[in-house]
Chains A and B, each alone.
Chain A
Amino acid sequence: MHQFALEVFAIGAVEFRKLMRDPTELISRAIQPVLWLAVFGQVLSHARGIETGRAGYLAFMTPGILAQSVLFSAIFYGIAVIWERDLGIVHKLLVSPASRTALVIGKAVSADFRGVAQAILVYIIALVLRVPIRWEIGAIVGVLCIVALGSAIFSTFSLAMACIVKTRERFMGIGQVLTMPLFFASNAIYPLSLMPEWLRRVAKLNPLTYLVDALRGLMVQGEQSVYGLAVDCAVLAVVFAALVLVTVRIYPRLAQ
């Protein structure tokens, strides 16, 4: 057990060092949420085109944009793993006696650093735009934990895709095809109640919906979670566990 934790830590520590050494990716990833909130969000909240809670559209949308940037920064994680495969790094990891579950979870933890950085950024944007944020320590810690879980889910999903497609070109194609539907078939920028029935059904199967729902309940004043935090967390945890189980089985394919 202790060795398992050490292995997860070792993989995560490597990623953390790399990120600290070269934060350009963090900076370039900051542009999208700024645009969505400061431009799209501002305009739409003046237009009052979408009926949401009392807190206004910007407050409704902020957790959705956080979830979106968690999704987008985690979903291309598999590219890095394909790169590691081409270099033979994956081969060396798989020849080591380290637990393969630890390797997969270590990768998920690595993605968490990016997710948490996105959360801090969205908090700062929200502060500037005067979004009614819940500045309570419990709520903020909750948001960070949910963000970590969301990053872990989408990065593990991405890793699983990488294990299946194995090449960068195919991965880019699939990544592009998947992210937009995941985003639009969710409650990130409009409530489920405004969706046509078929789309609502799809959205209810989308883990992003539960991520957004949990964040919405914890992050802003005057908004609440539709399903309840406990349900959201349970769904997310089950999805993550299932993804880890599948990915551990197909991860060795990367080295074949």
Chain B
Amino acid sequence: MANPYAIDTRRLTRRFDDIVAVDGVELRVASGAIFGLLGGNGAGKTTMVKMLTTLLAPTSGSATVAGFDIVSAPHEVRRRIGYVPQMLSADGALTGYENLLLSARLYAVPRAELATRIADALGFMGLNEARNRLVKTYSGGMVRRLELAQSMLHRPAVLFLDEPTIGLDPVARHLVWQRLRDLNARFGMTILLTTHDMEEADHLCGDLAILHAGKLAAHGSPTTLKAALSSRATLDDVFAHYSGTMDQSGRLRDTDQTRRAAQRLE
């Protein structure tokens, strides 16, 4: 792996008809970092993550993830990444254990290690008691931790999370943060997460990028970003400065997503 960056994008661009969802983004994420991608609704965060996880092809530009090109070597990329989508996406009709078993098989976790990896992931995420319960009986925080358990089974080099704590209560949120830090420390996993939550960004991320209307508006550590604005600026100020105020349609989309996340748990 010649590239020292876990993620390296070159003028990465994606259009949807007349919308440029991601517009010439140049982003470099160091190996082992916890990196926050900020931006208001529709800024292009999900589109960015979908391209980096090989779900969506770029319209132009390129990117490498874990040293492999997302367009010419998508299979190599997929073997080295984990992904937790914006929606709570574990299968409610299966138990926690069965969800993990499916992931382990699809990620070709060696048979000999299967049982220990699953047990380890369940224990690590505090889900041992609930392992044989159907996931539709889980709380939102438990589903998210199950998804983290799923995405750690194959020890990915880079883990992508799209708004990992949306719809979670403060206790569940803090628990997810704790586990993400642990994953980062224990396996040296590079983590890229998207968020609109400035507390999350401040707490968790060593480095941030702010997207606005598909363009990279700012890039740096929380401290430098704040200091660049004024001596007493908060991250909220930084966010507002670079991405403008949220418009009405943005608010509507946000509630819609929260509702979807909540619905998922019925």
Contact = CB atoms under 8 A, between A and B. Distances in A.
Contacts, number: 72
A74 to B, nearest CB: 19
B106 A88 contact: no
A227 B205 CA distance: 67
Contact of B89 (A6, A7, A89): A89
B83 interface: yes
B45 interface: no
A14 B91 contact: yes
Interface of A is mostly: helix
Interface residues of A, number: 26
Interface stretch (B30-38, B73-81, B123-131, B213-221): B73-81
Interface in B50-87: 50, 53-56, 75, 78-79, 81-83, 85-87
B56 A256 contact: yes
A94 B106 contact: no
A97 B75 contact: yes
Given A6-B105, A7-B105, A256-B56, A92 B93 contact: no
A239 interface: no
A96 interface: yes
B54 A14 contact: no
B107 interface: yes
Contact of A14 (B79, B82, B88, B102): B102
A97 B79 contact: yes
A255 interface: yes
Contacts of A168: none
Contact of B87 (A6, A18, A86, A93): A86
Interface in A11-61: 11, 14, 17-18, 21-22
Interface in A79-103: 86-89, 91-98
A27 to B, nearest CB: 17
Given A92-B83, A97-B108, A98-B106, A14 B78 contact: no
A141 interface: no
Contact of B85 (A6, A11, A88): A88
B229 interface: no
A87 B106 contact: no
B174 interface: no
B181 interface: no
A87 B78 CA distance: 20
A248 to B, nearest CB: 14
Interface in A222-256: 252, 255-256
Contacts of A21: 93
B243 interface: no
Given A18-B93, A18-B94, A96-B106, A91 B85 contact: yes
Nearest to B75: A97
B226 interface: no
A10 interface: yes
Contact of B50 (A10, A89, A92, A255): A255
Contacts of B75: 97
Contact of B98 (A3, A14, A255): A14
Contacts of A18: 93-94
B98 A256 contact: no
Interface of B: 50, 53-56, 75, 78-79, 81-83, 85-89, 91, 93-94, 98, 101-103, 105-108, 150, 264
Given A14-B94, A14-B98, 17 more contacts: A7-B106, A9-B105, A10-B101, A10-B106, A11-B102, A17-B98, A21-B93, A87-B87, A87-B264, A88-B89, A93-B106, A95-B55, A95-B83, A97-B79, A97-B107, A98-B106, A256-B55
22 contacts: A6-B108, A14-B91, A18-B93, A21-B93, A87-B87, A88-B85, A88-B88, A89-B89, A89-B91, A92-B83, A92-B89, A95-B53, A95-B78, A95-B81, A95-B82, A97-B75, A97-B107, A97-B108, A98-B106, A255-B55, A255-B56, A256-B55
Nearest 6 pairs between A and B by C-beta?
A88-B89, A88-B85, A10-B105, A88-B87, A98-B106, A95-B83
